[in-house]
Structures are given as C-alpha cells and as structure tokens.
Amino acid sequence: MSMSTVASAPGKAILCGEHAVVYGAPAIALPLSGIRAYAKIRKCDHPLTIIAEDLPRPPLVYRAGEMDMSDPLALTAELAIDYLGAGSISGEIRLKSDIPIASGLGSGAAISTALCRAIALLRASEIPAGDLSKLVYEVEKLHHGSPSGIDNTVVVCEAPVFFIKDQRMELINIAEPLQLVLADTGIAALTRDAVAAVRRRRQSAPAATAAIFAEIGAISKEAKDCLEQGATKRLGALMIANHRLLQALDVSSPELDRLVEAGLHGGAYGAKLSGGGRGGNIIALADAHSVDAVREKLLEAGAKRVMVTIAGEGRRDDDDSD
Ligand code: PMV
C-alpha cells in the first residue's frame, strides 16, 4: 500500500444551537465530508515550508521559536511540531480548501486539522483525535476569541455531534443522511463580532437572553431525537424555530432572512442561518424531490454560491495517492 501523502479534514455545518452553545446549551454540528481542506505533503530536505494555494500570502517557512503566533498557520505548525516533539522538521505542505472562508462552514478548523495531520505524516506519525481537537481549539481561539469548541470537535471526529461545552461530546447515529443545501450570502462575517454582540445583549437583557438560550437548547435536544429517528419533517420545523430565535438574538441579517425564506419557498423542510451569522451561509434541509427547486429559489434570491451536500454519511477516507 502506498503511503498517504494527502491529509484532509471536512467542513462543518451547525444544525442547531449556535450562540446558545457558548453559554452551555447543547448544539448539533454535522461534518460536511464532501467539502474539505487538503494538505499535501512532499518530503524534501528544506525546512518545513507551508504553501497556502488559495491565499494571497508568501510561503511560510517554519523556524522554531521565530514564528508569528498571531498567524493561524504558524501557530498550527508550532503546536503540532511541539506536540510531536520534533525540534526541526523538513518537507513541504501545500494547503488547498473547497470550504469558503469566514462563512460559518468551519474553514479555519478544517485547515488547522489538515495541517496538523500533514505535519504528523511528515514525521510518519499520527495525532490522536482528542489531542488533535485540543490543538485545533487553541488555533480557533485566534479566530473566535472564546470559542465553545464545537467546530474543532466536529471537524476532527468527522461525525455528527451533540455538543455541550466542557462536557464529553456525544456522537449521534443519524437514521438517514440529510440532503442539505448551503447558500452563501457572499458576506464575510467575523464570528467573534457576532459572539461579542450576543454577549452584550446578554449583559443588557439577561433574563430574556437566557430564555432564548433555553429554547434553543430544547430545540437541540429534540433535533437529536429527530436525527436518530429519521423525523425529517419535524427536524425542518425545529430549524425554522431556531432561525427565529437567532433573529431574536439579532445575529441574522436581511440577506440571511431572504435566503431562509427562499429555501422554504422552494420546498425545504426547514432552513436557518448556520454558524456565527450576520453573513455567511444558510442551510436548508431538502430531499431528493425538492433539492433542485430549493437550489433554484436560493439562486433567484441572490445566493452567491449554492452547494448541495449530504451530511451524516460515513467518514470519507483521506486520499491515498502518489
Ligand atoms: O465558526 P462558526 O461561524 O460556525 O460559529 C461557531 C458557532 C458559535 O456558536 C457562534 C460560536 C462558538 O464558538 O460556538
């Protein structure tokens, strides 16, 4: 068997519970195994060089102790190399990603995960999932400030998760894979800004905000049952209710609302913003019959990019190539 030279990690979508999860409510995240970040390794004698093919930045040459720790790629490399106990490391890693940046689909966590896996590959080693998730969480802090940990968890374990902050995560056995349609507003929004706005809201209206978090938490619990039982119609209704609560938290936007309504108009069971909000993507839950109409309505409503994907299928193996 040839040695794998490409590590990868999936994108993710939050099915329900975002924002409330930061304050201890449960949330559900799904891996998007068809939309991935890749890190291709090439063994050579040069000091470790990381090339991000999609980003307008020069190659990053790793030099121990001299890295800019506010750069996510440099921090990821430092953390992985430190974990592996590898003082010096040589080789080249090329990063490429299908996951749109800053749109709530887990691009940052997927790139960090793929990069850590590739660095381990260069050392003919592997980082166990629990430890890898902790390393990626450290990088997520750069992107988000105080993330709940849901992104690194779902991206590393690549399985549907029922997540409660600081608790052992639970994997969900999905009865039937979900046909999701993702539609991008084209507006890049920083999760840390949306999280900060919710924090301010919680300070100024604690009781009302706590009540919203509690309702969102109840939705996540019921959504878990729906996933396990294949109750797609009810799941759709819960997504719509979750979107209304996110509107009440003021993390939606006219563009997101327009796409949610368009998805429903196209026949989706449910639709909601996914992730931090204020921009980024909505997810719509469709089926084989409605998927084309949903996609069409979303494009008509101004979606900048529409992706159809299946969530909840088994993990896709990393490429095993040249
Ligand atoms: O990374 P995003 O944009 O998918 O958002 C993560 C979800 C939040 O609940 C808004 C933040 C968090 O840390 O859980």
| pLDDT tens-digit readout, 29-39 | 999 999 999 99
Ligand 1 centroid distance, CA of 260 (Å)? 19
What topology is assigned to 6-171 in CATH?
Ribosomal Protein S5; domain 2 (3.30.230)
CB neighbour class for 284 (10 Å; exposed up to 12, middle 13-18, buried from 19): buried
Report the atom number in ligand 1 closest to the C-alpha of 20: 9
Report the atom number in ligand 1 closest to the C-alpha of 150: 14
Q: Which of 141, 148, 185, 243 is the best mutation target for the ligand 1 pocket, counting ligand atoms within 8 Å of the beta carbon and taking the most?
A: 148
pLDDT at 226 over 70: yes
Name all residues whose Cβ lies below 6 A of ligand 1: 14, 18-19, 21-22, 104, 144, 147-148, 150-151, 191, 195, 275-276
pLDDT at 263 over 50: yes
Q: pTM for the complete prediction?
A: 0.93
- Domain extent listing, the chain: 6-171, 178-311
CATH architecture of 178-311: 2-Layer Sandwich (3.30)
Contact 37, 73 (CB under 8 A): no
Ligand 1 centroid distance, CA of 41 (Å)? 30
Cα–Cα distance measured from residue 299 to residue 28, given in angstroms and rounded to the nearest whole number: 27
pLDDT digits (tens, 9 = 90+) for 79-120: 999 999 977 789 999 999 999 887 889 999 999 999 999 999
1 vs 268, residue with greater confidence: 268
Report the atom number in ligand 1 closest to the C-alpha of 19: 9
- Token pair, residue 54, equals 């999609």
Note whether 6-171 and 178-311 share their fold.
no
Q: Tell me which residue has its CA closest to atom 6 in ligand 1.
A: 275
Cα–Cα distance measured from residue 268 to residue 303, given in angstroms and rounded to the nearest whole number: 16
pLDDT digits (tens, 9 = 90+) for 161-172: 999 999 988 999
Ligand 1 centroid distance, CA of 77 (Å)? 23
Q: Tell me which residue has its CA closest to atom 14 in ligand 1.
A: 148
> 3-class DSSP state for residue 161?
strand
